[in-house]
Amino acid sequence: MEYIAYILIVVGLVFFLGTSIGLLRFPDFYTRMHAAGKGDTLSTVLILAGCIFAVASQGEMSWLIGLKILLIINFVFIGSPTATHAMMDAGERAGAKPWKKKGGDK
């Protein structure tokens, strides 16, 4: 059980790394938002899944804690993509133009 937890958490962290690099490197608003959205949802869910397995092996009440973590995962799935969508939507209305390859306006 322990090893699955370690693997999941490490993979989650890798995604977080990808998100932060994405946030820094991507040229314009939309691509940065894309990176942030992905990192925000996926890596959190992976880390939480890792926690479920980490907790699974302790004490006989751990299935209850596992269930609670599942609930949290469910909420993260509903919550953070909506947040990213809201920001994208607001950005689009506020007139942020997507980046074009041939040196469009920054």
Partner 1 sequence: MAELPIWQYDTLFLITVVLFGVTALTMQNLMSAAIVFGAYSFLMCLIWTAMGAVDVAFTEAAVGAGVSTVFIVATIYNTGASAKPRKPRVGFKLFAGAVAVATGAFLLSALPDFPAWGDPQSPVNSTVAPYYIENTIRDAHVPNIVTTVLADYRGFDTLLETAVVFIACIAIYSILRVDSAKSTVDEPDIIAAPPAYDPTDSLIIRQASRIMVPFMQIFALYVIAHGHYSPGGGFQGGVILGASVILLCISFDLKFVLRQWTEKKIMLLTALGVLIYAAVGVACMFMGGDYLNYNALDPVLPGDMAYARYYGILLVEIGVGVTVMFSMIGIYIILASNGRFKRGL
Q: How far is the CB of 103 from partner 1 (least distance, A)?
A: 26
Residue given tokens 């980490």 in the structure block = 54
Asked if 93 touches partner 1 (CB under 8 A), the answer is yes
Do residues 23 and 32 touch, judged by C-beta distance below 8 A? yes
Distance CA 35, CA 15 (A): 10
Residue 79 or 98: the one with the smaller Cβ distance to partner 1 is 79
Residue 94 or 101: the one with the smaller Cβ distance to partner 1 is 94
Of 69, 39, 33, 72, nearest in space to 54 by CA:
69
What x/- string results for residues 43 through 72 when contact with partner 1 is judged by CB under 8 A? ------------------------------
Termini Cα distance of the chain? 48
Distance CA 100, CA 37 (A): 21
Q: How far is the CB of 63 from partner 1 (least distance, A)?
A: 17
Stretch that binds partner 1, among 18-26, 30-38, 52-60, 91-99 (CB under 8 A): 91-99
Residues within the interface to partner 1 (CB under 8 A): 75, 78-79, 82, 85-86, 89-90, 93-95
